[in-house]
Amino acid sequence: MSNNRVEKIFSHLEKAYPNAKLVLRYTNPLELLVATILAAQCTDERVNKVTGTLFKKYRTARDYAAAEQAVFEQEIRSTGFYRNKAKNIIACNRTLEEQFQGKVPDGMEDLVTLSGVGRKTANVLLGNVFGKQAIAVDTHVFRVSHRLKLAQSKDPDNVESELEKIIPNDKRTHLCLILGTHGRRTCLARKPLCAECVVEEWCDSPDKIVKDAKH
């Protein structure tokens, strides 16, 4: 892969999305942890509607740890897969209470020991609340990376490793947010807005929608 090609792609994307940031709403690490778990197989917008109420009731790890699962399930039902998410969030917060003094740890090794937390969720936290450089490969980052041939693996963890090789260390969190924003706004899953894409000239994805030729 040409370094010049990669630089041009990221340069154009940075200009297009100078204020790229997470869509999920949060005010502290615990809120982002819960929101990211809820966001699995669910839109961030839907999660924000749920957490708008949820975060007023549950303010600490102890609050979540003491939650009654049947009640909590109904409170997050609209995010989908609510039984599994409720189980993970309650178990995750019990671990926070028992092993981390109720605080969200700021290291990958500790984070992935929590129920419902894989590398993606851990990287979201590391990059956005703990000030570390991290690449969180969500569905949007995964899709855009493949369409632009920035990565080839079908495994998100391996895509993370591929992107680490081409993204400068000091820009990992920022450029990851930009890839995600591009995926949400332009490089859509079913009907990508290729006519509006600022990196269209470097894309030869089979998903690409070619503009009609002018006569």
Count of all residues that appear for the chain in the document:
215
CB 14 within 8 A of CB 178: yes
Is residue 209 within 8 Å of 194, Cβ to Cβ?
yes
Tokens of 105: 């740890």
Active-site residue (options: 110, 138, 170, 211): 138
Interacting residues of 167 by C-beta distance below 8 A, sequence separation 6+ = 10, 135, 175, 176
Task: Clarify whether 138 is annotated catalytic.
Answer: yes
CA distances from 26 to 35, 59, 135, 211 (A): 8, 12, 19, 39
Number of H helices, E strands in the chain: 11, 0
- Find the catalytic residue in 120, 155, 191, 214: 120
Residues labelled catalytic: 120, 138
